Structure 1
Amino acid sequence: MRRTGSGSAPPYLRIVKEIERRIDSGALRPGDRVPSIRQAAARWGVATATAAKALDTLRRQGRVVAVPRVGTVVAEPAPASTPRSGAGAVTGRARRERRAAATGRNDERERVVRAAIVLADAQGFEAVSMRGIAVTLGMPTMSLYGLVRGKEELAALMADTVFGELELPRTPPAGWRAHLELAARLQWRLYLRHPWLPRLMSLTHPQPLPNLLRFGNWGMSPILGLGLDPETARIVWWAVANHVRGTATNLEAQRDAEQHTGLSPDQWYTAHLPSLHAALSTPTAPIDDRLGFDLTAFFEAGLRLLLDGAAVQIGRQHRT
């Protein structure tokens, strides 16, 4: 077992100083894992209580942070404090350094999010992992945790980033129905580009993502302008948005099925027509031999039905 020095400092402080030295020298970078309590006890030849005290000291000093299911990692450096006295140039330099550090961190986080989106587009959301992204970017896996706390936060950042791709027209179409049709089709095209996205959307637990809220406010604005009661306006918008999202949940499953079977939806229906004839055909409702399935056509048909119903409800409210 390795012991550090023979000075008069308490054993836990010797561990603290050694880990601090490695952080300050750059041997340990933000996001890198530091020895666990058990590892530190074995490495420095101390009791686990002593090792625990050393790590607790480093946590209280802000040098390390505990990450659930990962361990204790090096914390991001705290922003430089503004001097209470001295030349103004020093204060300005400190502010510029803080801004540069924040900008650099944001740029790195955006790289991580973009890499995750590319990975999800190619292989599905299940393929997204901190390790996979780290390999793609050539970064240590632990360093990612200094930029993103985990997959849950990463998923939210991915969703917000792709909703930011939507280009909302400055002058929307005239009429509530044309506006909702455009909103639904913009959302549908976004899901076509990113089939993993619908699974991250929730009607019951929506996340306050800036770009998602921007789209929702824009999409709902013509309904609110009709003078309906707020509850009816919300239900109309939620019904439209949920129709798009609900239909789009089939996109990722369709891609997986095509990869597994090697058949498109039309090819699948053609191959199974004999079974469909036997199970579903009746004299009054025969199965058409040209039967196929297209999700976009199904989405458009459902949207028409939904907006027809919304028009009836809106008309009733205007008459009362």
Structure 2
Amino acid sequence: MRRRSTMDRSGTAPPYLRIVREIKRRVEAGELRAGDRVPSTRQVAEQWGVARATAAKALDTLRQEGVVVAISRVGTVVAEPAPGSFPPPRAPSAPKRKERQQPAHDGKRERMVRTAIAIADAQGFDAVSIRGVATALGIPTMSLYGLVRGKEELAALMADAAFGELELPAMPPASWRARLELAARLQWRLYLRHPWLPRLVSLTHPQPTPNMLRYGDWGMGVVRELGIDPDTGRFVWWAVTNYVRGTAANLEPQAESERHTGLSAGEWYSAHMPRFHAGLPSSGLPTRVAPAGDQSAFDLAGFFENGLQLLLDGVAVLIGRQRLP
């Protein structure tokens, strides 16, 4: 059954124009912001119950009007609005007294970062460039250098914006283990959404950005309550977060390998396991990596969960030793 939009169809305007007006409304209301993807031709056709030709005409009209822009291998995203064309998304109402108004360039930088994230999500971090982001936004490349000094600073902003997506519960689990599990899984799910992110998070050269500090302080809260010395507590937190990052570092290469070979991780192991055994006859490698009859079931997420439990088992032993009289 096709999903129908709640948009009113009682008007006399052609169907494609009603779609155009609805997408514009979403942009003006801040439901869609610069860099956000808009529905594809197929999705528009399904959502509004129209022919694909009508959906294509609606998107083409939006492109001609500068509301959206097509990015190669990404799709169609909301464009940087031209001055005076329509209100900027999520524009604040009258500022409160004694409250500093947000500098104009902050909104532009946020749209730049969101666009860079959209490109990285679709094509990987290597596809991100100042020029590519400027092209996606439909603005001159040099105008972005007034917002960031280069790709390194843009990468830090992207990482911090991604960590800003984390919803940290105000009332976390009471036990140290449940809280560390939650912290690890929140981070893992963030990396699943953004497979390029692990490469921007460093153990040796961390970026003290607001959202990453917020996550670290929240996670360290339970470590501070463990009753172990502070140095050991820091190592516990670093071990957990770096384990998640290290495991997630396989996500982007895995996706690239699957695109290149057409094989899932389980299928790859099954096809190459005989060669592993032939090359390392004394290694004791398992003859299969998935349950019998399901050689495609190898799952990095399962590997992550099992490794997390092993790591936390070790933390439990460490805590027990430090609490001994």
* TM-score normalised by L of structure 2: 0.65
Corresponding position of 1:259: 259
Can you give the 5+ residue segments of structure 2 that lack an aligned partner in the other structure? 1-94, 291-295
User: Which segment is superposed worse, 270-279 or 157-166?
Assistant: 270-279
Look up the equivalent residue of 2:172 and give its one-letter code: P
Distance in 2 between residues matched to 1:257 and 1:316, nearest whole Å: 43
C-alpha distance in 2 between matches for 1:198 and 1:285: 29
1:150 is matched by which residue type in structure 2? G
Partner of 1:151: 151
Once the two structures are superposed, the pairs formed by residues 180-259 of structure 1 within 5 Å of their partners are 180-259=180-259
Q: How many residues are aligned here?
A: 224
Provide the residue aligned with 1:274 in structure 2: 274
Higher helix share: 1
Q: Does the Cα contact within 8 Å between 2:198 and 2:245 map onto a contact in 1?
A: yes
Are 1:295 and 2:305 an aligned pair? no
Contact 1:113 1:158 (8 Å CA) reproduced:
yes
**Structure 1 stretch displaced more, 103-112 or 270-279:** 270-279
Alignment map for 1:31-42 (pairs within 5 Å)? none
SS of 1:272 mapped into structure 2: helix
Structure 1's 177 and 289: CA in aligned 2 closer, same or farther, altered over 3 A? closer
1:306 aligned residue:
311
Shift of 1:132: 0.4
CA–CA distance in 1 between the matches of 2:286 and 2:279?
11
RMSD of aligned alpha carbons? 2.3
Compared CA separation, residues 203 and 100, structure 1 to 2 (3 A) = closer
- Indicate how the Cα distance of structure 1 residues 115 and 316 shifts in structure 2: closer, same or farther if over 3 A, else same: same
Tell me the distance in 2 between the aligned counterparts of 1:196 and 1:285: 31
Paired with 2:102 and 2:285, the residues of 1 have a C-alpha distance of 65
Contact 1:163 1:212 in 2 (8 A): yes
**1:59-78 maps to which residues of 2 (within 5 A)?**
none
Instruction: Tell me if the contact between 2:195 and 2:251 (Cα under 8 Å) persists in the aligned partners.
Output: yes
1:161-213 C-alpha deviation (Å, 9 max, x unpaired) = 01000000111011000000000000000000001100011111111111001
Sort the Cα spacing of 1:144 and 1:177 in 2 relative to 1 into closer, same or farther, 3 A: same
Report deviation, 1:268: 1.1
Counterparts of 1:289 and 1:181 in 2: how far apart (Å)? 25
Matched, 1:315 2:320: yes
Q: Which amino acid aligns with 2:171?
A: T
Structure 1 segments unaligned to the other structure (5+ residues): 1-94
Are 1:138 and 2:138 an aligned pair?
yes
Secondary structure in structure 1 of the residue aligned to 2:250? helix
Assess, with a 3 A threshold, how the Cα gap between structure 1 residues 170 and 289 changes in structure 2: closer, same or farther: closer
- The answer to whether the Cα contact below 8 Å between 1:203 and 1:242 also exists between their aligned partners in 2 is yes
Q: Which amino acid aligns with 1:299?
A: F
- Correspondences of 1:20-99 after superposition (within 5 Å): none
Asked if the contact 1:163–1:211 (Cα under 8 Å) also holds between the matched residues in 2, the reply is yes
The one-character-per-residue Cα deviations of 1:258-286 (angstroms, maximum 9, x if unpaired) are 11111111121222233234334569665
Q: Deviations over 1:29-50 (max 9, x none)?
A: xxxxxxxxxxxxxxxxxxxxxx
The 1:289–1:188 alpha-carbon spacing in structure 2 relative to 1, beyond 3 Å, is closer
State the Cα distance separating 1:117 from its structure 2 match. 0.3
- 1:280-306 deviation digits (Å, cap 9, x = unpaired): 456966513748631111111111111
| Identical columns (%) | 65
